[in-house]
């Protein structure tokens, strides 16, 4: 099954609307973190854990690494606080594989603009997005057994094949 964060369950989708709309300064960093964590808990309990217990494969667009990047590196909150909250709501639950589609921050923002209405996060300054990119790359360097970085500047078919290769190699999936 496919799902997303923030969101992925009815309650988490309501929180998503709060997080992604409004002015860039709508929430201070701590409130934003608490909303993200509340959405994740609802998502885990309502969607992810039941699917895994039923033997389903779950593909989630974003998870805890995004919180470390956005609210940690992006918004300046201590990683220890973020890790403590994650343990509170998820225990030691972690994805088996994390695929990070990497591209320069300016390129990512340009793609987001072409998609249409920018979210609250996409309206944040380029420097914010450069910190996010660096944080994701740092996470991948720290956890190479879980993380695969794919150059998203490639053409779509090449990116798709790199994702399939990661799924075959890391999870032994026939894709």
In angstroms, rounded to a whole number, what is the distance separating the alpha carbons of residues 151 and 36? 27
H/E stretch holding 60 = strand 59-61
CATH 3.40.50.300 fits 2-171, yes or no: yes
Domain ranges of the chain: 2-171
**Percentage of the chain surpassing pLDDT 90?**
94
Task: Supply the DSSP symbol for 100.
Answer: E
Q: Give residue for tokens 């944080």.
A: 135
Task: Tell me the pLDDT band of 50, cut-offs 50, 70 and 90.
Answer: very high
Q: Over the stretch 116-126, which tens digit does the pLDDT of each residue have?
A: 878 899 999 99
Judged against a pLDDT cut of 80, whether residue 115 lies above it is answered with yes
Contact 15, 8 (CB under 8 A): no
Among 37, 161, 150, residue whose Cα is nearest residue 102: 150
Question: What is the 3-state composition of the chain as percent helix, strand, coil, each rounded to the nearest 5?
Answer: 60, 10, 30
For all residues of the chain together, what is the average pLDDT?
96
CA angle 25–29–32, rounded 5-degree value: 85
For residue 7, the tally of other CB atoms under 10 A from its CB is 24
């Amino acid at each position: 099954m496919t799902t997303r964060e923030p969101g992925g369950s009815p309650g988490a989708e309501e929180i998503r609307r709060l997080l992604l709309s409004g002015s860039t300064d709508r929430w201070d960093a701590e409130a934003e973190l608490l909303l993200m964590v509340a959405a994740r808990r609802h998502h885990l309990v309502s969607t992810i854990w039941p699917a895994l217990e039923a033997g389903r494969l779950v593909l989630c667009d974003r998870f805890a690494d995004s919180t470390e990047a956005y609210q940690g590196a992006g918004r300046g909150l201590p990683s220890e606080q973020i890790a403590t909250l994650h343990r509170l709501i998820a225990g030691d639950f972690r994805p088996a594989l994390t695929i990070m589609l990497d591209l320069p921050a300016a390129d990512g923002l340009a793609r987001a603009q072409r998609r249409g209405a920018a979210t609250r996060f996409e309206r944040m300054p380029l420097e914010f997005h450069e910190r996010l990119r660096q944080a994701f790359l740092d996470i991948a360097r720290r956890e190479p057994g879980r993380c695969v970085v794919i150059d998203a500047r490639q053409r779509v078919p090449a990116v798709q094949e790199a994702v399939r290769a990661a799924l075959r190699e890391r999870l032994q999936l026939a894709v």
